[in-house]
Structure 1
Amino acid sequence: MSAGTTRRALAWAHGSLAVQSLGGMLGPVLFLLPDGRQVSPLHVAPWSNDPERETLPDILQELRGEWPCVPFGSDASRKLPPGWSATGESFEGAGVPHGHGSNIHWAWGACDDRQITLECHYPDTHPIRLLRREIVPDPSAAAIDITLEIEARRSCRLPIGLHPTFRLSPRPGSVVIEPGSYSRVWSFPGDVEPGAALFAPDRQWPSLGAVATRGGLIVDAAHVPLSAETEDLLQLSGVDGSLALHYGDEGFRARLSWQKEHFPSLLLWYSNRGRKAYPWNGRHVALGVEPIASAFDLGPAISAGVNPLVSSGVATAIAFEPGQTFITRYRLSAEAAPAG
């Protein structure tokens, strides 16, 4: 493992889980289904045992599973279409990918056979002071309940998000994304990865099942892995706080539920062999299922500023005040499901 990374693990009647200090990342997770099968839906990057990974940015070195991103995304100069502007607040550290907590080692709190807790202190110059994370398996189910607390150092408005990343079955289209209700699908207003974009940029559609590509085709973006080699994003707005992934070839569903009042959008990260440079090497296949209050992963200056999502009534940042702890709860679970 990367220098300084430590891990804690626990098992309960319906599974086992591991958490690492780097990024506070949860994964892998093994769920024991009532029929006796074991399933492990969270993704672990394929370079996790590569000694060269220590040359990577911290967030990538042990990339896996699920973790919180405060703030979500990163400020970066990029050319965007009209209507997108970096008018929100920026600050020292705003360019750190997915926030300070995604790139450093968290401190362990109470860890026993019922829970794992961690906390992460932010630099003195950052508007956020502290993150606290509690991971508790449900003693009666193949499920994990997670609590995130955020304490601010000063008044601020920031994009925030959760970053569950799921592995996919190898056959194209074999996993079905089953979101709860949502109002609109938005495509990224540019290139997520130069030369690897798939979806027509800066567009909107009513359904994930019919999304236009840059080549003029209509694809079903609810069936993954995609057949195209791509690295792209879609954002679902007006979500109801729930999503399932149906692994048809493996006969189970993974479910994620969250508080929609905190995370009114869901970002889908299609990482489908589109990135060719190290460590991705054209082999990375995973799906990010990321509840957010953010404009894609465009960072604080854009998400807390004027953008088309905000203009349509979608919140892309959260207000934080010192002395008022923000608390949000979410749940990851698995269940048997029909094959096919």
Structure 2
Amino acid sequence: MSDSDFHTIEAKGVKATLDLRGGHVRVFATEQGGRTIEPLHSAPWLNDKTIVDDETIDANLRLLSGDFFCAPFSTNDIDPVTLHGWPANSPWTLLGVEAHPEGGQTARYELVKRVQGATLVKELTVRDGHPFLYERHIFSGGEGDLPVANHAMTRFDGGGRLSFSPKLFGTTPETAIESDPAKGRSLLAYPARFTDLTKAPRADGGTADLTTYPFGSKHEDFLSLVEDPANPFGWAAAVRPDKRDIFLTLKNPADFPITMMWFSNGGRDYTPWNGRHIGVLGLEEGRTYAGYGHKASIAPNPWSEQGIPTSLHLDPSGDVEVRNVIGGVALPEGWTRVASVEAGAGELVLVDEAGGSVTVPYDAKFLTRGA
């Protein structure tokens, strides 16, 4: 690892650093109220050379940090590419940095590999005073369909509360992600479908409250939440009282109709996890058929037959893009859970379940393509 492996962009009160070796956002930090908020998670083995230099381990796992783009999301069972595809596992090169006309910076990076023949560009923007990282991924050319997702992660050293824009339902896959007790453990029931996030079925016959972290210990679980198509604006909020912050993911549901939750709380005992990946939550915004992989996402499936997009169609003669936003906001005194998030023209308004509100600068046009 060297300084040339990373690239940083900055604006007043915010900065982001990209790990060019695998396209992971290693650092996202904002300055608010005289302190630094850093809501993203990095794996505990990133300074362990025996792990990071071991090329028998997928790069997306060796370099696991912050937020990264997956194309295809999950298993690539069509082309011989590792989990989450080249965007999360191979180098990116800096194309250039431009000043934002309203203050800040925009950087563009190109993936060295091609994705189904497409050139992929990652565009990251930070704005003066905005506690957000604006992310855009543009495919130029290429052919076919593929599932895509952003893979953002935060960590709870203490407990926390979770809330979301309205969902149609939640579901777990056919099989637990850790079904071999010699390797790890999962607590939820697989498969399961539910509409009450406070009562997700557990394998032991009980229920789990998915709005509270943690809902158990020493477990690895994965589920998907399907966005209500009536929502013009999708969001997820993770309140971390001990860090005095709120981690946010924001999206246009037309881009990403699925929110995936990955509970990684000491439930894997093998290398490099070794029971030490604790308190981690992935809030992953996707266009995919859960975690079933490339083939299942592009084939007719129960979700796509309901009109829920589970893949992105590439344009051989043009560009196709998806956008998302991640952020970190200072937690107001006394707040327990975010009840609503609303986007105005130049601001984002968060409301607590007790009725208090806080407003922060935000570019609403980014997700609406300027509409």
TM bin, normalised by shorter chain, reads 0.7 to 0.9
| Equivalence for 1:243 | 236
- Is 1:304 equivalent to 2:298 in the alignment? yes
Which amino acid in 2 is paired with 1:73? S
Does the aligned pair in 1 maintain the 2:74–2:291 contact within 8 Å?
yes
Quote how far apart the aligned CAs of 1:307 are: 3.1
Which amino acid in 1 is paired with 2:168? S
- Is 1:186 equivalent to 2:171 in the alignment? yes
Mapping of 1:153-232 within 5 angstroms?
153-154=142-143, 156-168=144-156, 170-171=157-158, 174-194=159-179, 195=181, 196-232=185-221
| Equivalence for 1:38 | 36
Quote how far apart the aligned CAs of 1:5 are: 6.7
Quote how far apart the aligned CAs of 1:315 are: 2.0
How much identity, in percent, do the aligned residues show?
22
Give SS of 2:255's match: coil
Q: Deviations over 1:177-199 (max 9, x none)?
A: 11111110111210212231211
Instruction: Give TM-score, length-normalised by structure 1.
Output: 0.87
Higher deviation after alignment, 135-144 or 179-188:
135-144
- Is 1:336 equivalent to 2:330 in the alignment? yes
* Structure 2 residue corresponding to 1:97, chosen from 83, 86, 95: 83
Quote how far apart the aligned CAs of 1:120 are: 0.8
Quote how far apart the aligned CAs of 1:143 are: 1.6
Which amino acid in 2 is paired with 1:284? H
Does the aligned pair in 1 maintain the 2:255–2:323 contact within 8 Å?
no
Aligned length, in residue pairs: 317
Query: CA separation in 2, counterparts of 1:128 and 1:199?
Result: 38
Query: CA separation in 1, counterparts of 2:282 and 2:225?
Result: 13
Unaligned residue ranges in structure 2 (runs of 5+) = 99-103, 337-371
Quote how far apart the aligned CAs of 1:64 are: 0.5
Instruction: Give TM-score, length-normalised by structure 2.
Output: 0.80
Higher deviation after alignment, 183-192 or 330-339:
330-339
Q: Deviations over 1:206-263 (max 9, x none)?
A: 1221111000011101211333211111100025421111112332212111121011
Which amino acid in 2 is paired with 1:210? K
* Structure 2 residue corresponding to 1:120, chosen from 111, 131, 147: 111
Unaligned residue ranges in structure 1 (runs of 5+) = 77-89
Give SS of 2:303's match: helix
Does the aligned pair in 2 maintain the 1:58–1:104 contact within 8 Å?
yes
Higher deviation after alignment, 139-148 or 105-114:
105-114
Could you say which structure has the higher strand fraction? 2
Whose relative contact order is higher, 1 or 2, with alpha carbons under 8 Å and at least 6 apart?
Answer: 1
Which amino acid in 2 is paired with 1:51? K
What is the Cα-based RMSD across aligned positions, in Å?
2.0
Query: CA separation in 1, counterparts of 2:132 and 2:270?
Result: 36
Mapping of 1:240-319 within 5 angstroms?
240=231, 241-285=234-278, 286-319=280-313
Query: CA separation in 1, counterparts of 2:305 and 2:221?
Result: 23
